[in-house]
Structures are given as structure tokens and as C-alpha cells.
């Protein structure tokens, strides 16, 4: 990184092999800069951006100069345009809950037969779709599962609800609308793969899908530990008990409380109560602090599982949403790996803030201590595989499609770790030799 004058700073970016020079005001916040890079360069969030040192200068003749100040105003204009189109003039969370009176106008993408088929598989490439296309896919899932006709849902209300859901996911590196889409698409895949419609009631299917869609609404990008340690408004409101999950759930039902977005309006009071309880139970089950408790309870039931026992079924649904929530490593390597970068980016954002605020920092979030392989190996071996293997006792068909990819991913990250370790050893011995020569 270098600087041209006191008012501006310059960063050179290697974007997929092309060197880009970026000039920005030294008064830009890191958040602005990060957001502008992605927008100004037209690159997806998962692109690897690497900083070159000032020696990169010699190779930069004729490179595109991106004047961030100008982009800033362009983007502001674009945002305002979008906001006025969305009938909402502020990005304020409460405003986003305002229902849209107009019929939503996101273009209806025609999903090809190929897409419709692919959507049922955990191999679906979740990165190649724009938000509008993801909304169309979600709409398709609700129709395909016969939730719209079966429950007499107003198709326009479904569209409005989905748009409102989209608007209530923040632009975090990880906990964003695409993550919501991934979790829901994995739920849809599992419903298809395990023929869950033959086992569960349609109300259960509605609860599973809707809880998946809503499960991280308004996630702020900082986890429960941060909320509690920093004594945030959410932690105070929910007395340190799953503050985030309680919030996601409360936002979900604030959205349902608006008639224009209420896809549950056709249910009578008793049925609504049951669906509400079901969704709350599932969203609260996604707090990883409860992982051991929930998996243990499921392990106790699984060998004599009774599909007519409500407690058993509820426990299975809790495990299913947990599986989907952390299922990225089930996906093909090319789809799964960018998510690790996104998660680490969010973790590092948190640990940097914790350091700045003198709060405790978890080692798995510390950029000095964690690498991609170390982050993934333990998680795959001790969290993912044991949980999916327990579910496999009820649904043996998931072994090939979901557990095999997990085992392959574990092996791959273990190989990568060996390479990392060997490199570190080499560096260490080189440093030792240099020390001796001094
Ligand atoms: Zn999640």
C-alpha cells in the first residue's frame, strides 16, 4: 500500500490476475472501501483480493484507475434509486419492515428444466445467482412442495414476503441473503432426497422451509459471544439467552404481523399458533451453543425412532435445520470453499473489533491463530460428520450424497494442513540457519 498525496491513498489489487489501481480518500472508512471494491470492480464477494507492495508499481502502466470518490457518489445515487423503487427511503431496519403496498416487480425469471432439477440437489451452485433469481428459486420451492396451492397462499403475498425477507438480511460477509438461500435450498434437497413429504405433515414441511428462510434475519455479523461480552442492546433485551436467534425469530414474526407479507394469513388461530411454535423452536435450535444438548437428545431417540411421537418428530426437525445451517461442506469443493473465506472474513471483523474494545477473543476467530484447514478440520470431524451420521441412521440415502462429500472435504483439508505444517517447519529451520550464520 502506498500514498500519492496526503488526501488520497492508493491500493493495488490483483483481481484474478489483472492489476487494478484503486485511489481513495483517506477519510473513507474501511467498510466503505471494502464495499466499493466489490461494487466498483464488478467482482463477486468471494474473489481473492491480494494486496501488492509498492514494488508492484512498475507493472501498472495503463491500468484502470478507479476513483473511489466518484464511485461513492454513483453508488449513493444507485442506492437512492433502489430505495425509492423499493418504496423505502432508509436502510434503517425498522423501515425495512414496512410492507410494500405495490405488487412486487422483481422480474419473474423463467427457471429452465435444468435449473429446476439441479435445485433439488446439494450440488446446486449457489454462487451463480443474483438475488432476484434466488427469490424466484425460493418461490419455486414453495410451489413445488405444494405449500402455495395446498395452503391457499396468495402468490403475490408470497412474492412480497420473500422480498421483505431479502431486505431484512444484512450485507455481511457470511450471514447474508445468500446464506439464507443456501440453508433453504439444502432443506429443500433433504426434503426431496429423504422423501420427507411421505413422513411429515405438510404443516411440518411449511415449518421446516419457513424456519430455514427466516433463521438468520437481521444477523448483525457479530455472534452471541460478542453480543453478551459487549453487552449490546440485543443481549440486554434477551438476557444473554440466544440473543441473536431470539432476534431472528422476532423479526420473522414482525414481518408476518403485516397483512401484505403474511403468507400464514389463511390459517386459523389454532393452526397459526402451532406453526409459530414450530418455527420458533427450529430457529432457536440453530444456536450452536445448544449443539451438544440437541444432538444428545436426538441420539437417545434415533435407535427407536417413532414418527408418530411428536417429541421425536420435533427433535428430528431441530436436527434437520441444524444440518442445513452448517451444510456448506456437503457441497462440492468449488461451492463450499468460498464460504470458508466469507466466514473467516466475518470472524476477523469480530476479533478485530473485540481487540479494539478490549473484549475476550476466541482463538478460532483470531487472524493470528486460524487458517482455513485448521478452521475446517475439527468442525468437519467433530461436528458435521457425527451429526450427519446420526441422521443417516434414519435416512441411509444421505450417506452417498451428503456424508461422502464431508469425508472428502475432511481429507482434503487434512492434506492442506500437512502442506502448511511442512512449509512452517521449513521456514522455522531456515530462520534457525540464518540465526546461526549471523
Ligand atoms: Zn445460519
- Give the model confidence (pLDDT) of 277-336 as tens digits: 999 999 999 999 999 999 999 999 999 999 999 999 999 999 999 999 999 999 999 999
The tens digit of pLDDT for each residue in 206-229 reads 999 999 999 999 999 999 999 999
Residue 28 confidence class, pLDDT cut points 50, 70, 90:
low
Q: Which of 92-96, 185-189, 327-331 comes out lowest in average pLDDT?
A: 92-96
Assign 308 to helix, strand or coil: coil
Residue 257, pLDDT above cutoff 80: yes
CA distance 201 to 313: 10
> What percentage of the chain has pLDDT greater than the value 70?
74
Whole-number Å distance between alpha carbons of 438 and 426? 19
Q: What does the alpha-carbon distance between residue 182 and residue 180 come to, in Å, rounded to a whole number? A: 6
More confident residue, 286 or 70: 286
353 is in an annotated binding site: no
Helices 202-214 and 177-193, packing angle to 10 deg: 160
- Report the range out of 6-10, 101-105, 343-347 with the highest average pLDDT: 343-347
pLDDT for residue 8: 61
The DSSP-derived string for 159-214 is: HHHHHHHHHTS---SSSSHHHHHHHHHHHHHHHHHTTHHHHS-HHHHHHHHHHHHH
Distance 219 CA to ligand 1 centre (A): 9
| Cα 401 to ligand 1 centroid, rounded to whole Å | 21
Task: Give residue 426's pLDDT.
Answer: 85
Tell me: is residue 216 an annotated ligand-binding position: yes
| pLDDT of 49 | 52
Ordered domains of the chain (ranges, CATH): 9-41 (no CATH), 113-337 (1.10.1300.10)
Q: What pTM does this model have?
A: 0.77
Lowest mean pLDDT among 23-27, 197-201, 257-261, 358-362: 23-27
The pLDDT of residue 40 is above 80: no
Task: Assign residue 152 a region (left: φ > 0; alpha: ψ between -120 and 50; beta: otherwise).
Answer: left
Residues 134, 177 contacting (CB under 8 angstroms)? yes
pLDDT at 430: 82
Q: How far is the centre of ligand 1, averaged over its atoms, from the C-alpha of 201 (Å)? A: 24
Give the pLDDT score at 21: 65
Q: Is 348 annotated as a binding residue?
A: no
Ranking 350-359, 370-379, 417-426 by mean pLDDT, the lowest is 417-426
pLDDT of residue 66: 42
- Tell whether 175 is in a known binding site: yes
Which set of grid coordinates corresponds to residue 189?
A: 434437497
Long-range CB contacts (< 8 A, 24+ apart) of 61-67? 63/19, 63/20, 63/21, 64/20, 64/21, 65/21, 65/22, 65/23, 66/20, 66/21, 66/22, 66/23, 66/40, 66/41, 67/23
Q: Backbone phi, then psi, for 380, in 5-degree steps?
A: -70, -45
Q: Let me know if 248 is a catalytic residue.
A: no
Nine cell digits for residue 148: 402455495
Between 104 and 128, whose confidence is greater? 128
| Burial tier of 255 (Cβ tally within 10 Å: 0-12, 13-18, 19+) | buried
What's the rounded Cα separation, in Å, for the pair 267 and 11?
A: 56
Is 177 among the annotated ligand-binding positions?
A: yes
* pLDDT band at 427; cut points 50, 70, 90: confident
Residue 178 assigned to a binding site = yes
Three cell numbers at 186?
Answer: 439444502
72, 175, 247, 312: the catalytic one is: 175
**For the residues 98-116, what does the mean pLDDT come to?**
65
Identify which of 102, 108, 109, 107 has the alpha carbon closest to the alpha carbon of residue 85: 102
- With a pLDDT cut of 90, the percent of the chain lying above it is 70
Are 297 and 315 a contacting pair, CB within 8 Å?
A: yes
286 CA → ligand 1 middle, Å: 7
Provide the sign of the torsion angle of the four alpha carbons 27, 31, 32, 38, taken in this order.
Answer: positive
CA 191 – ligand 1 centroid, Å:
18
Residue 376, annotated as binding a ligand: yes
Radius of gyration of the chain from its Cα atoms, rounded to whole angstroms: 24
Mean pLDDT of the chain: 85
CA of 213 to the centre of ligand 1 (A): 10
Gap from CA of 351 to ligand 1 centroid (Å): 19
Q: Would you state the cell numbers that stand for residue 355, as one nine-digit string?
A: 481487540
Section 119-125 average pLDDT? 97
Residue 73 Cα to ligand 1 midpoint, Å, equals 33
Amino acid at each position: 500500500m502506498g500514498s500519492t498525496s496526503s488526501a488520497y491513498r492508493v491500493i493495488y489489487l490483483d483481481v484474478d490476475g489483472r492489476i487494478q489501481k484503486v485511489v481513495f480518500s483517506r477519510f473513507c472508512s474501511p467498510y466503505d472501501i471494502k464495499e466499493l471494491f466489490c461494487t466498483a470492480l464488478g467482482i463477486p464477494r468471494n474473489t481473492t483480493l491480494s494486496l501488492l507492495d509498492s514494488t508492484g508499481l512498475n507493472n501498472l502502466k495503463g491500468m484502470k484507475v478507479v476513483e473511489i470518490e466518484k464511485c461513492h457518489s454513483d453508488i449513493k445515487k444507485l442506492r437512492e434509486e433502489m430505495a425509492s423503487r423499493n418504496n423505502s427511503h432508509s436502510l434503517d431496519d425498522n423501515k425495512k419492515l414496512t410492507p410494500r403496498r405495490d405488487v412486487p416487480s422483481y422480474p419473474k425469471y423463467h427457471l429452465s428444466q435444468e435449473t429446476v432439477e439441479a435445485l433439488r440437489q446439494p450440488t446446486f451452485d449457489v454462487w451463480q445467482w443474483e438475488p432476484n433469481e434466488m427469490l424466484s428459486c425460493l418461490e419455486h420451492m414453495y410451489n413445488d412442495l405444494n405449500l402455495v396451492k395446498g395452503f391457499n397462499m396468495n402468490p403475490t403475498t408470497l412474492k412480497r414476503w420473500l422480498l421483505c425477507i431479502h431486505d431484512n438480511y444484512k450485507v455481511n460477509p457470511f450471514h447474508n441473503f445468500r446464506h439464507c438461500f443456501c440453508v433453504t435450498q439444502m432443506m429443500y434437497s433433504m426434503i426431496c432426497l429423504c422423501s420427507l413429504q411421505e413422513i411429515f405433515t405438510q404443516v411440518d414441511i411449511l415449518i421446516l422451509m419457513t424456519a430455514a428462510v427466516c433463521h438468520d434475519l437481521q444477523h448483525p455479523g457479530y455472534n452471541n459471544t460478542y453480543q453478551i461480552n459487549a453487552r449490546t442492546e440485543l443481549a440486554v433485551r434477551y438476557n444473554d439467552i440466544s440473543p441473536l436467534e431470539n432476534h431472528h425469530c422476532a423479526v420473522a414474526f414482525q414481518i408476518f404481523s403485516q397483512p401484505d407479507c403474511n403468507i400464514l394469513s389463511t390459517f386459523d388461530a389454532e393452526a397459526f399458533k402451532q406453526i409459530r411454535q414450530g418455527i420458533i423452536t427450529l430457529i432457536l435450535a440453530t444456536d450452536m451453543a445448544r449443539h451438544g444438548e440437541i444432538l444428545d437428545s436426538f441420539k437417545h431417540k434415533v435407535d427407536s425412532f417413532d414418527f408418530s411421537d411428536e417429541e421425536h418428530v420435533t427433535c428430528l426437525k431441530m436436527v434437520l435445520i441444524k444440518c442445513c445451517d452448517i451444510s456448506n461442506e456437503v457441497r462440492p469443493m468449488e461451492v463450499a470453499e468460498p464460504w470458508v473465506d466469507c466466514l473467516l472474513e466475518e470472524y476477523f471483523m469480530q476479533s478485530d473489533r473485540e481487540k479494539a474494545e478490549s473484549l475476550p477473543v476466541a482463538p478460532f476467530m483470531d487472524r493470528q491463530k486460524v487458517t482455513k484447514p485448521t478452521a475446517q478440520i475439527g468442525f468437519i470431524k467433530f461436528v458435521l460428520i457425527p451429526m450427519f451420521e446420526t441422521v443417516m441412521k434414519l435416512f441411509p440415502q444421505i450417506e452417498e450424497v451428503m456424508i461422502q462429500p464431508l469425508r472428502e472435504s475432511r481429507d482434503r483439508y487434512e492434506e492442506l494442513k500437512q502442506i502448511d505444517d511442512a512449509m512452517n517447519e521449513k521456514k522455522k529451520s531456515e530462520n534457525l540457519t540464518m540465526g546461526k550464520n549471523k
